[in-house]
């Protein structure tokens, strides 16, 4: 039986300003988009829902999340609200008092750059003082930096003279003792020692189901879930498939893995709910931990240009192998040198078999660029997956890493748009807020959530609201080869749509972050309602 939704402000996202007042949904798809009168006629005998002029958007899609890690982190000690080192240590102390001696404590979500007392990572000695009887490791919100206490380091065999698998990922003090700071793979190895609260299949499924319901609360009906084992960010295809088979999966999942598939599959295998998406590479680290790979040294640490995860030859080989296997390639690049390396690898991969479809190569993050890289990628068929919230959360310290002049190319997404690039938007959850209204606010205003700085940070790089929402809808569907299925509100497409409490296109930019979702529908089925 068809259902008509009438008297709405339905933004189809087919083109800027394209509106209709009514839609008809039947069998999980949009049957009609147009006028109230025709919608009621088509749905005669079915339900008619009055939208009362509420704004409607296509279901939004987050093109970069570590979804299982988010589901898992919801069970950890949440340190996101720590505004000072003192508060962080107190939160740990309280958890340690409640935890039996010897039992692991794992925390996540803190950002030392936000601390009001000392913008430095805690040391193992400070962690030891508040947690002396339990192995403890805490992970910065970026997921690339960890700090462990002495018991956790001992459990991992890390002491003087320890040689990590990746040079530079274990920090040592002048006395040769580990400081407790671990980066990327070194931290992931310690985290992996803690007992897994989601060891069973049912436990994993329950956690992911709950996490997807949280995504629905913010208007998300699709997510690109990405594995990163070197940062202890697993994903499990069978978990999503089981949930879909049981009717418990409330977001469409497009998967990325940082390992090659064990059989001859290619991008797109699956169905409307769960698909194999792409092969993921991590070219460098992150800016917060100074492991992002730069062409010139860091402004606040001239001793380093960051840490590469590959030589150019190794990266060339990985990209070429995936390309020849007909796998979509997605590569994490934060620094401008990493962006140069990836650009070179793509150029080499295409040398013998040029492609014209830009979706073959996804350049992920692209945080710091330079003019040479911008000019080179503008000539390539690539798409860029950005994380809008990076601007908002990093605005107070980004320039300290690379200085004012280089920061002109920090999150320079206006330049990419003006060069004809196709951009999609993701959150890097659990690193950042996955609320698309937060992300839209971030790149429309170029400000932190507190409004800093006045007028926006490098305001010439701002984007329009339509461009921002497109990144979460039509562009997001495009990068996963699903533009004929979703991303816009059109007859024949999947009936994924969202009702908002305010019109994102007709509201002051600084208020976009306060918009909330009234209802979220997946395939015409209500999966979230505010009241």
Q: For residue 226, list its beta bridge partners.
A: 256
CATH fold match for the domains 76-191 and 283-463: no
The angle subtended at Cα 133 by Cα 131 and Cα 137, nearest 5°, is 55
The CATH superfamily label for domain 283-463 reads Metal-dependent hydrolases (3.20.20.140)
Q: Cα(203)–Cα(450) distance, rounded to whole angstroms?
A: 37
User: Residues of the chain with pLDDT > 70: what percent?
Assistant: 100
pLDDT tens profile 159-190: 999 999 889 999 999 999 999 999 988 998 99
pLDDT at 300: 94
pLDDT tens profile 110-130: 999 989 999 999 999 999 999
Q: How far is CA 11 from the centre of its chain?
A: 25
Long-range (24+ apart) CB contacts under 8 A made by 398-405 are 398/287, 398/457, 399/299, 400/299, 400/300, 401/287, 401/290, 401/298, 401/299, 401/300, 402/294, 402/298, 402/299, 402/368, 403/299
Which burial class, exposed, middle or buried, applies to 218 when counting CB atoms under 10 A from its CB (0-12, 13-18, 19+)?
buried
DSSP codes of every residue in 457-483? SSGGG---HHHHHHHHTHHHHHHTT-T
Task: Look up residue 527 and give its two tokens.
Answer: 């999966």
pLDDT at 232: 81
pLDDT at 289: 86
Neighbours of 194 (CB within 10 A): 18
Strands (DSSP E) found in 273-345: 274-282, 328-333
How confident is the chain (531 residues) per 10-residue block, as mean pLDDT?
97 97 98 98 96 98 96 89 95 94 93 92 96 96 92 96 91 95 91 87 95 98 94 92 98 97 94 98 92 96 95 98 96 98 97 91 97 96 97 93 96 96 96 96 97 96 98 98 98 98 98 98 98 80
Q: How far is CA 25 from the centre of its chain?
A: 30
Task: Look up residue 469 and give its two tokens.
Answer: 């929402």
Residues 146/171, Cβ–Cβ less than 8 Å: no
Fold (topology level) of 76-191: Diaminopimelate Epimerase; Chain A, domain 1 (3.10.310)
**Residue ranges per structural domain of the chain:** 76-191, 283-463
pLDDT at 182: 95
Look up residue 270 and give its DSSP letter: B
């Amino acid at each position: 039986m068809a259902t008509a939704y009438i008297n709405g402000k339905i933004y189809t996202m087919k083109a800027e300003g394209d509106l209709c007042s009514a839609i008809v949904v039947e069998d999980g798809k949009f049957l009609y988009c147009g006028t109230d009168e025709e919608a009621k006629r088509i749905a005669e005998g079915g339900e008619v829902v009055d939208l009362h002029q509420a704004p409607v958007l296509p279901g939004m899609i987050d093109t970069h999340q570590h979804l299982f890690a988010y589901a898992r982190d919801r069970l950890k000690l949440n340190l996101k609200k720590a505004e000072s080192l003192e508060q962080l240590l107190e939160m740990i102390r309280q958890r340690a008092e409640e935890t039996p001696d010897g039992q692991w404590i794992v925390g996540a979500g803190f950002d030392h750059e936000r601390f009001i007392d000392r913008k430095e990572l805690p040391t193992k000695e400070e962690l030891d003082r508040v947690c002396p009887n339990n192995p403890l490791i805490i992970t910065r919100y970026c997921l690339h930096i960890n700090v462990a206490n002495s018991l956790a380091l001992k459990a991992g065999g890390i002491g003087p003279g320890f040689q990590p698998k990746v040079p530079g990922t274990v920090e040592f003090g002048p006395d040769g003792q580990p400081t407790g700071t671990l980066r990327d793979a070194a931290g992931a190895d310690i985290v992996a020692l803690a007992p897994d609260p989601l060891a069973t299949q049912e436990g994993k499924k329950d956690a992911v189901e709950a996490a997807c319901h949280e995504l629905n609360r913010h208007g998300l009906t699709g997510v690109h879930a990405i594995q990163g084992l070197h940062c202890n960010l697993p994903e499990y295809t069978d978990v999503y498939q089981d949930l879909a088979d049981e009717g418990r999966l409330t977001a469409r999942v497009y998967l990325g893995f940082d390992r090659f598939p064990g059989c001859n599959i290619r991008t797109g295998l699956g169905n409307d709910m769960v698909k194999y998406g792409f092969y993921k590479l991590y070219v460098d680290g992150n800016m917060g931990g100074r492991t992002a790979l730069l062409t010139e040294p860091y402004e606040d640490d001239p001793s380093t240009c960051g840490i590469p995860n590959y030589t150019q030859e190794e990266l060339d080989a990985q990209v070429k192998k995936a390309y020849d296997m007909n796998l979509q390639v997605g590569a994490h690049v934060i620094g401008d040198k990493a962006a140069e390396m990836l650009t070179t690898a793509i150029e080499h991969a295409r040398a013998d078999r040029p492609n014209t479809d830009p979706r073959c190569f996804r350049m992920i993050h692209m945080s710091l660029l330079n003019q040479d890289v911008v000019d080179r990628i503008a000539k390539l068929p690539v798409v860029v997956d950005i994380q809008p919230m990076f601007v908002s959360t990093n605005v107070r310290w980004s320039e300290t890493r690379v200085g004012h002049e280089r920061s002109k190319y920090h999150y320079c997404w206006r330049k990419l748009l003006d060069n004809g690039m196709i951009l999609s938007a993701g959150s890097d959850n659990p690193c950042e807020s996955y609320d698309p209204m937060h992300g839209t606010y971030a790149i429309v205003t170029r400000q932190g959530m507190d409004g800093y700085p006045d007028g926006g940070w490098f305001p010439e790089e701002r984007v329009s609201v339509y461009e921002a929402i497109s990144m979460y809808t039509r562009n997001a569907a495009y990068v996963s080869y699903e533009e004929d299925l979703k991303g816009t509100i059109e007859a024949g497409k999947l009936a994924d749509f969202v009702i908002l409490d305010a019109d994102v296109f007709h509201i002051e930019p600084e208020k976009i972050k306060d918009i909330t979702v009234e209802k979220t529908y997946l395939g015409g089925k209500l999966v979230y309602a505010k009241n």
